[in-house]
Chain A
């Protein structure tokens, strides 16, 4: 028997919990999973890398390592966009794909600053940082109005976000960076970095060093609070835990947003333009960690 997991029609960080709920319910049995994206109309980088993480987790838990199924979006335009965003290149290894997928190379168009890219080792982080500096500099300056010097900080934030996978996840993950016009929320352009893995998550990573300190409060939310707000790390070295603090500093300078979902919790540093909740607990369980960084266009009126 196959269990169905619906991919939301508008698949981004806002609808991710709906997807995670479907995943958690379907994955509770031992059956093969079918990720149904036929009705998908749009997916943010967060949605795309999150779907890959779900695929990896589903494949890992399946008896005999049987890959989960994926029904591609019925809209040719949407499928084409997912292909240009580099999604299917990675999905081919994780899913048994049903539906026609165009043989498109990942895009070098202006919106896709970095197609969906696997992150498994330090070398991958080097490649990501090198690529983004070549691609993003002009876009960050021209389209977002960021100081050209901010490009280096952007690469630094991206590097630290990716390193969380290499250092803590215990599994590989994916990163994607896109620029798009965020009409619904802000009426201005944004650059979005999405990083996701299906690894052990923050709670498991920090448990040996932090659980005792938090006592009864220990859980996914406390682990995220310890990592993002208090800058703690699983390593005893006092220099550890700087990465997320650095990301926060960079985003604060550019009115950006950071949100991290791990296990059953989600934490966010919420800028003035957003109405997100700083900390949510008791969400549907989802493997690994999913990181979202948003940098808005500078100086234009808010919606």
Chain B
């Protein structure tokens, strides 16, 4: 089963004050801990960035990298902007990790370290969460 995480909602619930930006380590830590409480280990999770403004490296590391490293089997990032990915990709690379990104047309690509990248898409296909499109790309089958 795929777990869905709406990061903006978690942000609102995790920290005092109405923030749209995922910045600072304490904020990232609070958001990650909220996510972890609701997330069984070893799952495939979809993290939706709708409504998130700025994402800095500290939060990208605290939330995305630590969840990929310690909690989830595959993390699929949805509704990310170029700026979000600019923060996430170097952080993943620094850890030798990778995550799957969903493009606006629904097809998937991997960001981060090259070595684990191919295995991530294979895993999604093997779990029947994703399938090859007639054009040769990979897209989610449901979720």
Contacts and interface: CB of A to CB of B under 8 A. Distances in A.
B95 interface: yes
Contacts, number: 91
Q: Which has the most chain A C-beta neighbours within 10 Å: B26, B53, B95? A: B26
- Interface SS majority for chain A: helix
A156 B57 contact: yes
B82 A242 contact: no
A24 to B, nearest CB: 33
Nearest to B96: A238
A133 B83 CA distance: 13
Given A123-B17, A149-B83, A159 B95 contact: no
A55 to B, nearest CB: 26
Interface residues of B, number: 29
From A159, A163, A167, name the one whose CB has the most chain B CB atoms within 10 angstroms.
A159
Interface in B84-115: 86-87, 90-91, 94-95
Interface stretch (B34-42, B58-66, B128-136): B58-66
Nearest to B55: A156
Interface stretch (A46-54, A138-146, A200-208, A243-251): A243-251
Q: Interface size bucket, A side?
A: 20 to 34
A152 B65 contact: no
Interface in A141-182: 149, 152-153, 155-156, 159-160, 163, 166-167
Contacts of B58: 159-160, 163, 242-243
Contact of B24 (A130, A133, A159, A242): A159
Contacts of A152: 53-54, 81, 83, 86
Contacts of A246: 56-57, 87, 90
Interface of B: 17, 19-21, 23-27, 53-58, 60-62, 65-66, 81-83, 86-87, 90-91, 94-95
